[in-house]
Structure 1
Amino acid sequence: MTHDRQDDRISLETTAQFTHGAPWRLSLPHDLPDYLLIWTTKGQAVASLNGCRRGVGAHCAIIVPPGTLFSLDLGRTGGGLVLSLSPELADQSHLPDQPRLLQLREVQAQAEITAALDAIHKEARSDQPFRMDACRAHTALLSVSLRRRIAALPATEKTTGAQRLVNAFSALIGKHHAEGLALADYARMLGVTPTHLTRACKDCSGNTAGDLLAQCSLYAARDLIETTATPLQDIAGQLGFGSAAYFSRFVQNQTGQSPSDLRRAARARGMAAR
């Protein structure tokens, strides 16, 4: 008998399964403790890694190491697969450790990624002995395929000052977004003015620094509203809002619905899925 360890977590889901019918789970910027590889299979999408946004098509490997601020807006026609791995398993497999959008145009490269993901999915769902050994082996082959494609890329353009600033801002949001800090506080930590920070974010993503901060707060708010029974006033306090009333206005302005309405709708979706 084999026993899967906690540090061997691995799963493969469609983007619809990953979001549980709530597209904001991908479209709003946030970070996660696990390693993600998102493989787009159809349509056009807009991906953002550490505040820098780019359009992607089918057959794009979106590499999201733990702690990377990311989002993926799939629109109405986009879709794909999401491979989630524990950081330990990703490290053992030598998966690329930097965020990256890897658009693969060669048929052979596309086939290699698809075959590796299919094999991982089959083994992860099986009850065969040594299934995690097989998952680790297929993940290692996936890693080799990705790293070969990255190594074959031409030299990339030098990172701009705006990109470096937005990357640093994104890292700070991941650490401090629940503390109720104002944009001026982040700018001060980065040694720039709020105007300069907003201009850099606008250049890299099309959104202002305030937009990015609000979207990250909204993800955290919706996650707690829709997946827990925590009282709304407690959620407001956990996320650094000055009052429950201010929290409610923020959610209403961002979504067009009150926190209570969002919670009821999420519960209804959960019951319908059973």
Structure 2
Amino acid sequence: MSFIRSLTDQRAAARCVTLSQLAPQGAWQLSLLHDRPQHLLIWTTRGQGRVTIEGLRRGVSVHNALFVPAGTLFAYEIGAQGFGLALEIPTWLPLGLPGSPHHLRLRDNRAQAEITGILEAMQREQSRAQPLMAEAQAAQAALASVWLRRQIQLQPAEARRQTAAETMVQDFCRRVVTGFRSGQLPGDFADELGVPMRELDRVCRDCAGRSADEILTERVVHEARMMLARPGLGPADAAERLGFASTDYFERYLAHHGGGASAAPRRRAAGA
């Protein structure tokens, strides 16, 4: 099947939105750790913030590009004056995108103008809603993919190697993505990793600015709030899907953690 032919067989198209549109229900949709079904290319054009990708926390400022592959645990905390654009790319588009996250700090004016132009062209296309819009959006996404991969190749190679602590945190975050609905505790994940819970907690705090408990809690809370925002899905359904033993405990848990993840989660399987 050709690239263009495949466009007619898919429902979700690439789209460009502002960061506020990426979190229509509130800043928590970006600031709590979560993963998304689409690839994301975030282009920050004003202000500063912090991003945590697979447990590694770093600062973000103007003319920073973030590529977050689908299914990657991340959170983006942007300041009050911050502004940026986000390109959502469905995984079915065959664009040769990287399989790992990237954070690019761009100083080249031409590179900055190129990605800004691509994203603004996508916004104009969306506003017109003309025939063949999905194909036009896919073509713009392909240009953004070329731009991203080109900038990655042009970036100087990093001399610093990833530490064992960073590798451990990344491994833990990947397990959280696949297992947060199971009712497991951080200690269960630590056992899977073959490390003491105290060690996992320490490296998570060092790398992510969050304990292992807080990382897991944020992912659960984000999913719970997203579920409860869907029409026809009540607390009982959400509790069952997230591995809680009872609806009452789920509601108490969410009330306690709904505004953040400052305390450790109790054992969900026990409901106490």
**What is the TM-score of this pair, normalised by structure 2?**
0.86
- The reply on whether 1:190 has 2:193 as its aligned counterpart is yes
C-alpha distance in 1, partners of 2:174/2:257? Answer: 23
The match for 1:236 is 239
Does 214-223 or 113-122 show the bigger shift? 113-122
Q: Secondary structure at the match of 1:227?
A: coil
C-alpha distance in 2, partners of 1:30/1:118? Answer: 27
C-alpha distance in 2, partners of 1:12/1:171? Answer: 27
Q: Which amino acid counterpart does residue 185 of structure 1 have in structure 2?
A: D
The match for 1:149 is 151
The match for 1:69 is 73
1:36–1:64 contact (8 Å) kept in structure 2: yes
The match for 2:266 is none
Q: Secondary structure at the match of 1:143?
A: helix
2:44–2:84 contact (8 Å) kept in structure 1: yes
Aligned mate of 2:49, from 23, 45, 50: 45
Does 7-16 or 100-109 show the bigger shift? 7-16
Moved over 6 A (4+): none
Describe the shift of the 1:176–1:228 C-alpha distance in structure 2 as closer, same or farther (beyond 3 A): farther
Aligned mate of 1:108, from 104, 107, 110: 110
Q: Secondary structure at the match of 2:195?
A: coil
How many residue pairs get aligned? The number is: 254
Residues 122-151 of structure 1: per-residue CA shift (max 9 Å, x gap): 334444454444333332222222222211
The match for 1:25 is 29
C-alpha distance in 2, partners of 1:217/1:19? Answer: 17
Residues 217-250 of structure 1: per-residue CA shift (max 9 Å, x gap): 1101111112233221231121112222222222
Describe the shift of the 1:185–1:7 C-alpha distance in structure 2 as closer, same or farther (beyond 3 A): same
The match for 1:172 is 175
Structure 1 unaligned segments of length 5 or more: list them.
258-274
Does 235-244 or 192-201 show the bigger shift? 235-244
C-alpha distance in 1, partners of 2:52/2:219? Answer: 13
Structure 2 unaligned segments of length 5 or more: list them.
261-272
Aligned mate of 1:221, from 204, 221, 224: 224
The match for 2:61 is 57
Q: Secondary structure at the match of 2:210?
A: coil
Q: What is the root-mean-square deviation in Å for CA atoms of aligned residues?
A: 2.0
**Bigger fraction of residues in helix:** 1
C-alpha distance in 2, partners of 1:178/1:166? Answer: 19
C-alpha distance in 1, partners of 2:137/2:122? Answer: 5
C-alpha distance in 2, partners of 1:197/1:93? Answer: 36
Q: Secondary structure at the match of 1:6?
A: coil
Residues 177-199 of structure 1: per-residue CA shift (max 9 Å, x gap): 01110111101111111111111
Describe the shift of the 1:8–1:237 C-alpha distance in structure 2 as closer, same or farther (beyond 3 A): closer
1:218–1:254 contact (8 Å) kept in structure 2: yes
The match for 2:161 is 158
Residues 39-59 of structure 1: per-residue CA shift (max 9 Å, x gap): 112111111111111110012
C-alpha distance in 1, partners of 2:233/2:71? Answer: 24
Does 40-49 or 241-250 show the bigger shift? 241-250
Q: Which amino acid counterpart does residue 192 of structure 1 have in structure 2?
A: V
C-alpha distance in 2, partners of 1:229/1:201? Answer: 36
The match for 1:97 is 99
Q: Which amino acid counterpart does residue 117 of structure 2 have in structure 1?
A: A
C-alpha distance in 2, partners of 1:48/1:181? Answer: 22
What is the aligned-residue identity percentage? 38
Does 146-155 or 28-37 show the bigger shift? 146-155
Describe the shift of the 1:256–1:134 C-alpha distance in structure 2 as closer, same or farther (beyond 3 A): closer
C-alpha distance in 1, partners of 2:136/2:95? Answer: 12
Q: Secondary structure at the match of 2:86?
A: strand
Q: Secondary structure at the match of 1:188?
A: helix
How big is the shift at 1:203? 1.3
